[in-house]
Amino acid sequence: MNPNWTDTIERDVLALFVQDAEFASSVLDDLKPSHFSPAHSALYGAIRDHYRKYGSVPTDSALYDSLRTIVGASDAQFLRPTVVSIYREVRDPEYVRERVLTFINTRNLEISIRRAEEFLAAGSYDEAKGSIMSFMEVGPRQVINYFDEEVEIVDAEAIPTGVPELDSYLIGGGLQRGRLGIVVAGTSVGKSALMLNFGAAAVRQGYRVFHVTVEDSREAVKKRYDARFAGKDVYKDGLTDADQEAIRAARKNGGDLHILSMISGRASPSAIRMAVQALGNHRPDVIIADHIDVMRPDFRKEEKRFEHFDIATDLRGLAQEFQCAVWTGKQGNRQSRTAEVVGAESSGESYGPAQVADVVLGVARPPEEKRMRRLLIYLDKQRDGIAGRAIACTEDLAKMTLRGLLSSAEVQEKRHAYARRQG
């Protein structure tokens, strides 16, 4: 029960719920029957159950019938005047909304703080920090009525991947904001190289990239970007002044690149979130988190597969919160090192991340393709878009370069030919 709510406030809260379905939908999962006095607890429980079952608030007669089932005829008769009263107009709906949101957010923050204190008492600093950072304020969702409001469909901005043939299959022509992409591949096949190419292409196009590495040092990742921008094997040949100029020219369109190295086993979605917030006005358009298998969840689970699911869910939350494209890798099973096609099913027991992801790409390099210095990208999943497409690429991993076998012009002609066949 909330000690700061009077009977009048509680009745106004119930009245608001049956009169404002949009607000009710945004807080019903966070407000519990136990937060009300006994007299109003059954009423709120009946309203919530009806909304969850039918997706709408109940009428006064439906609410009364539900009460009779829940508390019996005599108690329902006792509550009947209250049922009638909550269908009258709320005197100050904005004030009531504010009271509800303040109560829920305060309670959620208290829970996060208590968890953090427990972690601190156990000497788990990272978990304590993750508990605090996991707190998210509750607010009403933006709901529209399809028939009553004009819904403008705007093409989502997409960030080119640097592989035109892949862009031709992706919604909008590249990496989409607010979405999570996962690259599945066997060990040393090329998932990190593919994501680094995404990052380099985005920087060249004038976008900001935040590359988080967990397996490698910041210096190692920097050298790979050096190789990609300079187009040479920097470990073997080093960098000349001309190479340095070519690297600086990569950001001529306004792009930027930040690299963060995190300790394996300590990197978590909340830690990445804190790092993004620390960038201030330089919030990224693309976040690359390499990769899920060496990250940890904000809260531990008994099985690794459940932890991987939570990590993917939180990474997708980052994409939505910061309206950027988030990409990460997932280690494939043993067979994926030599398989001809790699997809979500190649991610072993941890299938959860593929379920959460909006886009899943598999990278395969079977022996024959490896001899020809080629690899195959397989678009295994794309939410609301086409999937089941394979893209052949040439690779020069010493230069961190991947290129589709079709040129941009050939890709365009291929798309036009497909459109003509469909027409």
For the residues of 88-120, what is the DSSP string, one character each?
A: SPPS-HHHHHHHHHHHHHHHHHHHHHHHHHHHH
Report which of residues 1 and 291 the model is more confident about.
291
pTM here is: 0.67
Query: Residue 213's pLDDT is what?
Result: 92
- Domain ranges (residues) in the chain: 1-153, 158-422
1-153: which CATH architecture?
Orthogonal Bundle (1.10)
Task: Tell the CATH topology of 158-422.
Answer: Rossmann fold (3.40.50)
E strand intervals along 308-388: 325-331, 359-364, 374-382
pLDDT digits (tens, 9 = 90+) for 104-151: 888 888 888 888 888 888 888 777 777 776 666 776 555 566 676 666
Report which of residues 264 and 417 the model is more confident about.
264
Query: Residue 407's pLDDT is what?
Result: 54
Nearest C-alpha neighbor of 195 from the set 417, 29, 361: 361
Residue 416's pLDDT band, with cuts at 50, 70 and 90, is low
Mean pLDDT of 275-287: 87
Give the separation between CA 291 and CA 215, rounded to whole angstroms: 8
pLDDT digits (tens, 9 = 90+) for 148-196: 666 665 556 799 998 988 998 999 899 999 999 999 988 888 889 999 9
Two structure tokens written together for 289: 């988190």
Nearest C-alpha neighbor of 381 from the set 411, 347, 409: 347
Distances (CA, A) of 298 to 158, 182, 203, 318, 331: 29, 19, 30, 13, 20
DSSP classification of residue 384: T
Two structure tokens written together for 356: 């959460």
pLDDT digits (tens, 9 = 90+) for 229-279: 988 888 888 888 888 888 888 888 888 999 999 887 778 888 888 888 888
Give the separation between CA 133 and CA 20, rounded to whole angstroms: 31
Report which of residues 269 and 90 the model is more confident about.
269
Query: Residue 149's pLDDT is what?
Result: 61
Query: Residue 225's pLDDT is what?
Result: 92
Mean pLDDT of 333-350: 79
Residue 2's pLDDT band, with cuts at 50, 70 and 90, is low
Do the domains spanning 1-153 and 158-422 agree at the CATH topology level? no
Query: Residue 415's pLDDT is what?
Result: 55
pLDDT, mean over the chain: 83
Give the separation between CA 30 and CA 102, rounded to whole angstroms: 12
Q: Is the dihedral of CA 207, 210, 213, 214 positive or negative?
A: negative
Give the separation between CA 382 and CA 261, rounded to whole angstroms: 29
Two structure tokens written together for 68: 């009779």
Query: Residue 136's pLDDT is what?
Result: 66
Query: Residue 327's pLDDT is what?
Result: 96
As a whole-number percent, the residues of the chain with pLDDT over 70 amount to 88
